[in-house]
Amino acid sequence: MSNWVFCIDSDGCVMDTMTYKHNLFFGPIAAEIFDIHQREKFLKDWNNINLYSETRGINRFLGLIKTLEKNDVTSIGRLKQWASGTKELSNRSLNKEIERSESDDLLKALKWSEEVNRQISESNGLDKPFLNALSTIEKLKKYGKVIVVSSANKEAVQEEWERHGLLQLVDELCCQDKGKKEDIIRSVKEKGYELDKILMIGDSPGDLEAANKTKVFFYPILVNKEKESWKYLSNEVLPECLSGDYLNNEQKYIDIFWKNLENK
């Protein structure tokens, strides 16, 4: 066994969950709770910010703030203040902020986030892994550790990965309760793994940013080309990693990633 570390995002990367979660839950529930009148525009902005632009994969609270701002919702000062100052963008952290000093926008944001979690947990049969993801992760596991690095709700990620037979391949499950993605990767690096043997696998610019900030490798899972991306990772990229050639090819994959996202 090699001593590689494969840090893997979940929603939109391994699990085909991102699009339906935003279309059915995140956007519509936000429009309802924040009493949005131009609903169609709001939902279009929501999907563009969260799915089809350079902010794809943004934390739910930051995505909420950006979409509210774009739709001229101004009464979110406390929410913005909390989001810019907290070390943990999660329901738990938001709850603590409300306990210190509640406000209407903080209460609405928590209600929205909890309702999203509730409705997603009750939606059966919609989530599934992308084709080739499971077999590729099984292959990666032979050459090192597999660590889930996700900004999503931990309980939801754990339940999805377990139900689809993926959790048994995971050495660590690190979600929003562990902080930002770059913080998680830094904690991995502190355990003494070699920098040139850590690969972040993700579908969003946030995943690339986390890799850049921590100076680890990045490989993109391309939007609407997920099954092909996983197959290519298994057949081409893994051998490049093991032979030490990935450094020479990484920028090529990053360029393809940006081009693919810009064309959405």
| pLDDT tens digits for range 70-81 | 999 999 999 999
For residues 157, 163, 169, 175, the Cα torsion angle rounded to the nearest 10 degrees is 10
Q: Which two tokens stand for residue 164?
A: 């689809």
Q: Alpha-carbon distance 259 to 107, whole Å?
A: 39
Report the DSSP beta bridge partners of residue 6.
146, 199
For residues 69, 89, 212, 166, the Cα torsion angle rounded to the nearest 10 degrees is -120
Calculate what percentage of the chain has a pLDDT beyond 70: 98
Instruction: Average the pLDDT over 234-247 and give the result.
Output: 96
Higher-confidence residue: 7 or 17?
7
Reply yes or no on whether the pLDDT at 144 is more than 90: yes
Report the DSSP beta bridge partners of residue 253.
none
Lowest mean pLDDT of 88-97, 124-133, 158-167, 229-238, name the range. Answer: 124-133
Instruction: Average the pLDDT over 66-89 and give the result.
Output: 95
The pLDDT of residue 17 is 87
pLDDT band at 220 (very low <50, low <70, confident <90, very high): very high
Reply yes or no on whether the pLDDT at 125 is more than 90: no
The DSSP 8-state label assigned to residue 130 in this structure reads P
Would you say 221 and 230 are in contact if contact means Cβ atoms under 8 Å apart?
yes
Instruction: Average the pLDDT over 40-58 and give the result.
Output: 92
Report the DSSP beta bridge partners of residue 144.
4
Higher-confidence residue: 23 or 262?
23
With left for phi above 0 and alpha for psi between -120 and 50, is residue 57 left, alpha or beta?
A: left
**Residue type at 216 in one-letter notation:** V
Reply yes or no on whether the pLDDT at 10 is more than 70: yes
Instruction: Average the pLDDT over 107-123 and give the result.
Output: 94
The pLDDT of residue 192 is 87
Reply yes or no on whether the pLDDT at 1 is more than 60: no
Q: Alpha-carbon distance 30 to 103, whole Å?
A: 17
Would you say 146 and 8 are in contact if contact means Cβ atoms under 8 Å apart?
yes
Q: Which two tokens stand for residue 236?
A: 């081409």
Would you say 10 and 169 are in contact if contact means Cβ atoms under 8 Å apart?
no
The pLDDT of residue 136 is 98
The pLDDT of residue 73 is 95
Q: Alpha-carbon distance 36 to 236, whole Å?
A: 47
Q: For the chain, what is the mean pLDDT? A: 94
Q: Alpha-carbon distance 197 to 199, whole Å?
A: 7
The pLDDT of residue 263 is 66
Q: Which two tokens stand for residue 226?
A: 């997920």
Tokens 């509210």, residue?
68
Enumerate helices (H) and strands (E) in the chain, giving the number of each. 14, 5
Reply yes or no on whether the pLDDT at 250 is more than 80: yes
Instruction: Average the pLDDT over 90-105 and give the result.
Output: 96
Q: Which two tokens stand for residue 2?
A: 């090699």
Q: For residue 69, what is the enclosing H or E element?
A: helix 60-70
161-210 residue pLDDT tens: 999 999 999 999 999 888 889 999 999 999 988 889 999 999 999 999 99
